[in-house]
Structure 1
Amino acid sequence: MARLTALAGGAAVALVLLALPVAAHEHPSGITDLVTPAVVRVEATAHVEITLLDHIGDLVHVERSYDVPIGVGTGTVVSPEGAIVTLTRVVKNEQDVAVYAANRIFAEHHDVKIPADFERHKLKDDLLDKHLRQCYPPKSAKATCIFEVSTDITVFPNVSPADPKGLKAELVKAGPRPDSPAVLTTSGRVIGSVGLPTAPLADKVPDQQGSPTNIAGFIGRPGPEVKETVEIAHLGKGGGAGEKGRQFADPDKKVDEPVKLGGLADRGLRGAPVIGDKDGHIIGMLIGGGKDARMIGVREINAALTKAGVTPRRGPIDTAFEAALTRYHTKYYTEAAPGFQRVLELYPGNVVAATLLKDSLAKRGGPEDQGTKKAAAPVSRSTPLWPFIVVAGVLFMAAGAGAFVLWRRRAPEEPPPDLPPPAGQRQPPLDEGSNQTVVVRRSQPFAIIPQQKQVLTTQDPPVKSQDPSVKYCTACGMRLGHAHRFCGYCGNPSET
């Protein structure tokens, strides 16, 4: 069995070594291409229905509706079903939109100057001021205004042609602070039959100061004139969680990265994914604005998803896209093109897949295509695959033959000892008893050999004359004892 195990192990090692040349060209995918198909534009608006009960004179019901912008930013899809992570301040306004609606309707109906903002104001007219204060929330028995507030969240995916209506989304779980992650889920139609493309989340944030990253997002609704914005940044010293976040800092000190990224956050990249340089996975989200932009880590993102009951996962679109992307970045354009075509079948309009497909078709069969180079290389310089297959088959046959030979050569097991005969049936041995006579007979008597004189072939000393009293057997020639009547060797009688 030891030899059989050794043969099997040798065959397995040989197969592993043969498989190495086939998988040697596999490399990680691109830095941002894994994430950008899942980046979306997020726009949130509060819709307020307000009814003013004017009873200064005759009772009059005045109805108005207002759309109050809450925020715009960037989100990332983390599950094929449409789960999206962004910042709470993008989808939830900390200010009371009912106060804004009260100021607007009072200014319009009573023709007074009240700023259209979220502050509570006073009027010089005591009666109007009383009614205005009764209009402000919270609702009371003497309230002069009735409110109905709803939030309208729309996400615009990165597709071509652009979707002007976008996808409706609902707020699943908001964070405790404006710069905490919020979780959304799409509630409307989804392009394709297998869901949305997703982005992978990293396990942790890099600890090293100065680690390079990429930040991707939209400064407007995706379209022919608005492509995703990708900006390079570097991590600074480790910071706290939540609103504190981690700072950005250029290790060469050539660019003021907090100011640069803060401007992009104000323009629409707030909540944008921060992509790690190592494997292209999301390590955090962009927060802040103005002259100070920071990053909250992937730990806070996972915590928000857990509280919302959402499990991030990759879908079939991502599997097909990542396989094609690997071929593309290793310059196997002939093999990459069908992969991107498959992605577009699963999710029509994928901008990144369409762009890479166009580039793959342009480079297919060209000097940069590694697949073409491998096919056109001389036989003497290349290593075809079939010899490895033949060798693998021979090794398998040898292992099988060795196992068969070892099995045949194994010593058979000793048969079990014969069982003793049953009691009462045992026959006594032939030599038991004291008066038995054993008769031995020979099946064929010896032929009588006539006595002849000796023939000398060498110079022997002269033979002495024989004693006449000594006799020999006439049948076998053996010397007879004195007074023996029969030969002691052959039993022939000495006297005939």
Structure 2
Amino acid sequence: MARITALAGGVAATLVLLAIPAALPAAAHNHPSGITDLVTPAVVRVEAVSHVEITLLDHIGELKHVERSYDIPFASGTGTVVNPEGDVVTLRRNAVNPDDVAVYAANKIFAEHHKVKIPLDYQKHKLKDDLLDHHLQECYPPKTSTATCIIDVTTDITVFTNVSPPGQGLKYKCIKAGKTPDTPAVLVPLTPAAGSVGMPTAPLADKVPEQEGSPTNVAGFLGRPGPGVQETVQIAHLAKGGQAGVSGRPFADPEKKVDEPVKLGALVDQGLAGAPVIGDKDGHVIGMLIGGGKTATMLGVREITATLAAAKVAPRRGAIDTAFEAALTRYHTRYYTEAAPGFQRVLELYPGNVVAATLLKTSLAKRGGPEDQGTKQAAAPPSRSTPLWPFLVAAGLLLIAGAGLVFLLWRRRAPERPVEPPETLPVPSPFDEGASQTVVVRRSQPFQAVPQQQQVMTAPDSPPVKYCTSCGMRLGPAHRFCGYCGHPIET
């Protein structure tokens, strides 16, 4: 019976589980892959300028102090915001000038003041005039006690975010950089990011895909963000492993239709140096674009995270990213009616977000249209209601199973009636012809002898006769044990 009850309960539960999903709403959609929208709001343009303050001490003629200041642009590339505070990861070449700008400033001020021909480059030169040449050599760094020039060099880094209308740029400084131009550098803002929620960020992947031909996207700016300059996105594919003499992971088109290293190398020279390489699987940053000329490779994400850790900068996501990703999921699954309020919320948190504004415009245009899945679901005719018979059958089986279980419990808990032993009747002995008072001795509990007496009316003049209550044998007056079964007798 217990097995039947369990089987009935299992069948009922199965029917209920099969019937319930028909009444539940559809599960949430997974975030689509192969997109760059998660990263592009956090892509920025980085421009670096060496600012030189130089004072020339002219001792040749009348003592004069000639002061000049020069701004020498040396880099323009792409960076990525990695936390709401606005910290940016880019390449060293975008933040540190590899040339000695003090030499350039010395050549320039000498040529301007003394009216001599000196190439305006980063090389030290000699003049035919010995006196002028002596003063020129004393102007070049490093500074000595007899120096004729006092030079102060600083680096101005400006970051232009992907906002509309375009801003004047934010001032940054480099706090950590690798040893070579194509190594990561970490930039931090000189003033905190505006707004209580900070800036949009890009998610960093855990590792680089190992599979050859893995599709990726490269996103960056070829100029300052503005109405006429939007982010540039190029598709690329990772080649297998590294190659001898090549720094970073190479690129290669698996179909060999495009020479991807040449294509990407040209983009590096135009402003995509340090651009994030975005994995097609989940839209996370897997590296940075490096190289230039006729070749380009990818610096892996582990080098990026190692430099961030050395700079004590923790990459993390913020409130803007949470709201944006939720709206983005609805947008890419064509739930435009639900996506529009999400993008509006993002713009409230971070006004001017170009990507959110563009997607909001598209969502509003398609809201309620034939492509809007939310409208289709609302406008669809009501589907047939779920039949009641599975629930009725399940309820009946559950009721039967419950009744069976109650019956089993009742049977187990019902008290058992004690079974009375059959009454022992005296067996008259054929040798006893007289009647007398009889004493009946019954068996007591095991290992105890508690005699119970029963009075029987007999002839008054006859002597009493005893019988064993165990086997019924007649006992004599002096017997203490039954001679047949050995049971003890107590009178």
Band the TM-score falls in, shorter-chain normalisation: 0.7 to 0.9
Distance 1:277 1:197 in 2: 20
In structure 2, the CA distance between the partners of 1:407 and 1:156, relative to structure 1 (3 Å rule), is farther
In structure 2, the CA distance between the partners of 1:223 and 1:303, relative to structure 1 (3 Å rule), is same
- 5 Å matches for 1:376-455? 376-379=379-382, 382=383
> Which of 316, 319, 331 is the matching residue for 2:319?
316
In structure 2, the CA distance between the partners of 1:199 and 1:102, relative to structure 1 (3 Å rule), is same
- 5 Å matches for 1:264-343? 264-343=267-346
Alpha-carbon deviation of 1:438?
Answer: 11
Question: Which residue does the alignment assign to 2:261?
Answer: 258
For residues 258-309 of structure 1, give each alpha carbon's deviation from its aligned partner in whole angstroms, at most 9, with x where no partner exists. 1111111111111101111111111111111111111111111111111111
> Which of 142, 150, 157 is the matching residue for 1:153?
157
Distance 1:122 1:105 in 2: 15
Question: Which residue does the alignment assign to 1:234?
Answer: 237
The alignment partner of 1:355 has SS state of: helix
Question: Which residue does the alignment assign to 2:57?
Answer: 53
Distance 1:83 1:308 in 2: 11
For residues 191-242 of structure 1, give each alpha carbon's deviation from its aligned partner in whole angstroms, at most 9, with x where no partner exists. 4431110111112111122222111111100001111111111112311799
1:135 aligns to 2:139 (yes or no) = yes
For residues 29-66 of structure 1, give each alpha carbon's deviation from its aligned partner in whole angstroms, at most 9, with x where no partner exists. 56111111110000011111111122223332111111
Question: Which residue does the alignment assign to 1:205?
Answer: 208
In structure 2, the CA distance between the partners of 1:168 and 1:408, relative to structure 1 (3 Å rule), is farther
1:120 aligns to 2:120 (yes or no) = no
In structure 2, the CA distance between the partners of 1:377 and 1:171, relative to structure 1 (3 Å rule), is same
Q: Counterpart amino acid of 1:105?
A: I
Alpha-carbon deviation of 1:28?
Answer: 2.2
Contact 2:161 2:169 in 1 (8 A): yes
The alignment partner of 2:309 has SS state of: helix
- 5 Å matches for 1:14-93? 22-23=26-27, 25-28=29-32, 31-93=35-97
> Which of 153, 169, 172 is the matching residue for 1:166?
169
Contact 1:174 1:181 in 2 (8 A): yes
Distance 1:328 1:22 in 2: 17
In structure 2, the CA distance between the partners of 1:182 and 1:408, relative to structure 1 (3 Å rule), is farther
Of 205-214 and 26-35, the range deviating more from structure 2: 26-35
Contact 1:243 1:296 in 2 (8 A): no
Alpha-carbon deviation of 1:11?
Answer: 11
In structure 2, the CA distance between the partners of 1:87 and 1:202, relative to structure 1 (3 Å rule), is same
Gaps of 5+ in 2: 415-449, 458-491
Alpha-carbon deviation of 1:22?
Answer: 2.4
Distance 2:372 2:223 in 1: 36
> Which of 368, 372, 381 is the matching residue for 2:371?
368
Question: Which residue does the alignment assign to 1:101?
Answer: 105
Contact 1:192 1:348 in 2 (8 A): no
In structure 2, the CA distance between the partners of 1:10 and 1:140, relative to structure 1 (3 Å rule), is farther
Contact 1:179 1:242 in 2 (8 A): no
Contact 2:265 2:292 in 1 (8 A): yes
For residues 350-395 of structure 1, give each alpha carbon's deviation from its aligned partner in whole angstroms, at most 9, with x where no partner exists. 111111111111111111111111111111xx378xx79xx99xx9
Alpha-carbon deviation of 1:68?
Answer: 1.3
Alpha-carbon deviation of 1:146?
Answer: 1.3
In structure 2, the CA distance between the partners of 1:330 and 1:58, relative to structure 1 (3 Å rule), is same
In structure 2, the CA distance between the partners of 1:134 and 1:369, relative to structure 1 (3 Å rule), is same
Distance 1:198 1:15 in 2: 44
Question: Which residue does the alignment assign to 1:477?
Answer: none
Distance 1:30 1:236 in 2: 18
In structure 2, the CA distance between the partners of 1:243 and 1:153, relative to structure 1 (3 Å rule), is farther
Contact 1:156 1:221 in 2 (8 A): yes
Gaps of 5+ in 1: 415-430, 440-496
Q: Counterpart amino acid of 1:216?
A: A
Contact 1:180 1:243 in 2 (8 A): no
In structure 2, the CA distance between the partners of 1:208 and 1:19, relative to structure 1 (3 Å rule), is farther
In structure 2, the CA distance between the partners of 1:406 and 1:40, relative to structure 1 (3 Å rule), is farther
The alignment partner of 1:348 has SS state of: coil
For residues 444-489 of structure 1, give each alpha carbon's deviation from its aligned partner in whole angstroms, at most 9, with x where no partner exists. xxxxxxxxxxxxxxxxxxxxxxxxxxxxxxxxxxxxxxxxxxxxxx
Question: Which residue does the alignment assign to 2:350?
Answer: 347
Cα-Cα RMSD: 3.8
Contact 1:334 1:371 in 2 (8 A): yes
For residues 150-177 of structure 1, give each alpha carbon's deviation from its aligned partner in whole angstroms, at most 9, with x where no partner exists. 11110000011111x1111111211111
Of 117-126 and 238-247, the range deviating more from structure 2: 238-247
The alignment partner of 1:23 has SS state of: coil
For residues 8-37 of structure 1, give each alpha carbon's deviation from its aligned partner in whole angstroms, at most 9, with x where no partner exists. x98997799579852253342561111111
For residues 48-95 of structure 1, give each alpha carbon's deviation from its aligned partner in whole angstroms, at most 9, with x where no partner exists. 111112222333211111111121100011111111111101110111
Contact 1:50 1:146 in 2 (8 A): yes
Distance 1:101 1:16 in 2: 79
Contact 1:340 1:354 in 2 (8 A): yes
Question: Which residue does the alignment assign to 2:442?
Answer: none
Q: TM-score, normalised by structure 2?
A: 0.75
Alpha-carbon deviation of 1:246?
Answer: 1.5
Contact 1:82 1:196 in 2 (8 A): yes
Distance 1:324 1:49 in 2: 49
Question: Which residue does the alignment assign to 2:247?
Answer: 244
In structure 2, the CA distance between the partners of 1:127 and 1:243, relative to structure 1 (3 Å rule), is farther
The alignment partner of 1:264 has SS state of: helix
